[in-house]
């Protein structure tokens, strides 16, 4: 499993592997928002939590189609299906690699880009916490969606249509926790809900992902 994780991380960080693409997209979205809604500080500060979370969610979508597609094309996925490692573990490793190369960088960059949206400095830590807590769910759900569309030609649009509705609860509670922090309210409830979503996704979806892969590889 460690060797597989190391391999996926190396593939993601190579040129054209998708690493950094999410950060660039994240930056572009955040920079464009003030041009669309205006430079008023009060408005930008109010919508900053939602914008940061929406941008992070969309950035996470960019590399989902790479999770299984390349392995399916070169036959590696078939070898993994016959390897001693169970497909459930493979799904966990794939999701972990996606999170380490996408979710963690987005969480680290979010407070820096929040300055462009005049986000209250008191919410910087909460932005990092919510993204670190919520982005694992995005990666696990995205891995499940990638398994559903593996082998489908040009399945990127279909993958987005499948995954986006499943991302909505994570988006709602992540943005709400940051908004409550900005307003001086207790963010404990949305944080607990966000953690529950992530825990449920991590506990259940690897089994669903493995089942879908077995069906697609028959």
Per-residue confidence of the chain (218 residues) as pLDDT tens digits? 787 888 888 877 775 556 678 888 999 999 898 888 888 888 888 999 999 999 999 998 888 888 887 788 777 888 887 878 898 999 999 999 999 999 999 999 999 999 989 898 889 999 999 999 999 999 999 999 999 988 777 767 888 899 999 999 999 999 999 999 988 899 999 999 999 999 999 999 999 999 998 888 77
Could you count the other beta carbons within 10 Å of the beta carbon of residue 118? 18
Neighbours of 132 (CB within 10 A): 17
How many angstroms separate the CA atoms of 155 and 48, rounded? 32
Using left for φ > 0, alpha for ψ between -120 and 50, and beta otherwise, residue 47 falls in alpha
Residue 139 near residue 102 (C-beta atoms within 8 A): yes
Domain segments of the chain: what residues? Answer: 49-216
């Amino acid at each position: 499993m460690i060797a597989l994780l190391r391999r996926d991380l190396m593939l993601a960080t190579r040129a054209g592997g998708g690493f950094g693409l999410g950060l660039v997209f994240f930056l572009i979205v955040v920079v464009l928002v003030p041009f669309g809604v205006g430079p008023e500080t009060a408005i930008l500060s109010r919508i900053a939590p939602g914008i940061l979370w929406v941008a992070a969610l969309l950035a996470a979508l960019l590399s989902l189609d790479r999770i299984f597609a390349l392995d399916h094309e070169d036959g590696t996925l078939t070898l993994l299906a016959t390897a001693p490692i169970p497909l459930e573990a493979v799904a966990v490793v794939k999701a972990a690699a996606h999170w380490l190369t996408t979710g963690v960088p987005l969480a680290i960059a979010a407070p820096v880009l929040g300055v462009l949206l005049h986000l209250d400095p008191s919410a910087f830590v909460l932005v990092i916490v919510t993204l670190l807590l919520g982005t694992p769910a995005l990666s696990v759900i995205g891995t499940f969606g990638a398994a559903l569309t593996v082998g489908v030609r040009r399945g990127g649009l279909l993958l987005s249509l499948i995954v986006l509705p499943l991302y909505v609860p994570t988006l709602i509670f992540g943005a709400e926790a940051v908004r409550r922090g900005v307003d001086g309210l207790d963010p404990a409830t949305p944080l607990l809900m966000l953690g529950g979503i992530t825990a449920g996704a991590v506990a259940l979806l690897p089994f669903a992902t493995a089942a879908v892969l077995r069906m697609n590889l028959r």
